[in-house]
Amino acid sequence: MKKYEILGGNLPVVVCELHNGETMITESGSMSWMSPNMRMETVGGGMKKMFGRLFSGDSVFQNHYTAEGGDGMIAFASSFPGAILPLEISPSKSMIVQKSAFLASESGVELSIHFQEKLGKGFFGGEGFIMQKLSGQGIAFIEIDGYAVEYDLQPNQQLVVSTGYLAAMEDTCTMEVVTVKGVKNMLLGGEGLFNTIVKGPGKIILQTMPISNVAELLAPFMVTNN
């Protein structure tokens, strides 16, 4: 990639300038605008990968955009107010992200599903027991709901994170969904039934406005006409 620029403040878009022959990959529907020499190809990547993406709640197909006949430009906009973060992915640095976080990446980045070890608590805890793993080599762009806050955890250092606020972590980190202690706390505390404990070493990225929380706040105002 020649260069990229993230514009738009809390309604962000990333504009990528590509060398001739370079390719970007994205989930279906994420492209916002592009130069006319960008060729699009919709691919599935094999049945295993297609079923993996379907199982994780993502689009079965991906779009590959390649600059042909010269340098090209393509832009990807966030689907929700917040931030777009660039992640440097390398063989020694993979990232685990929430399943809705991936926006686009260079073609050298590989997407795969990542299972939490304790499926039951992960599922009922709201983080989802399936996340995405970004590996390989290149730059990936992820969507953050709200503002992004980063912490570098030391070995065995822990952070307790409320449901929905964990956006991404290095694959050197581990996480466990735990039940909030005390029946009174669970029922009257207003913080939900579960928390996520993330343990280092590695970087974690938190988000300040999970879309699930926004949906919950708006639900009482959504009136349906029968």
Task: Report domain 3-218's class.
Answer: alpha beta
Q: State the virtual CA torsion across 162, 58, 171, 46 in degrees, nearest 10.
A: 160
Give 96-151 pLDDT, tens digit per residue: 998 889 999 999 999 888 876 554 444 444 445 578 899 999 999 999 999 999 99
Which pTM does this prediction carry? Answer: 0.83
Chain centroid, CA 209 distance in Å: 14
Q: Across the beta sheet with 13-18, what order do the strands follow?
A: 3-7, 13-18, 72-77, 31-34
pLDDT band at 192 (very low <50, low <70, confident <90, very high): low
The predicted pLDDT at position 117 comes to 56
**23: which 2 tokens?**
């390719």
pLDDT band at 14 (very low <50, low <70, confident <90, very high): very high
Give 44-90 pLDDT, tens digit per residue: 654 445 445 554 455 567 899 999 999 999 999 998 899 999 999 99
Provide CB contacts within 8 A for 90, sequence distance 6+.
Answer: 137
d(CA 10, CA 7): 9
Provide the 10 A C-beta neighbour count for residue 25: 23
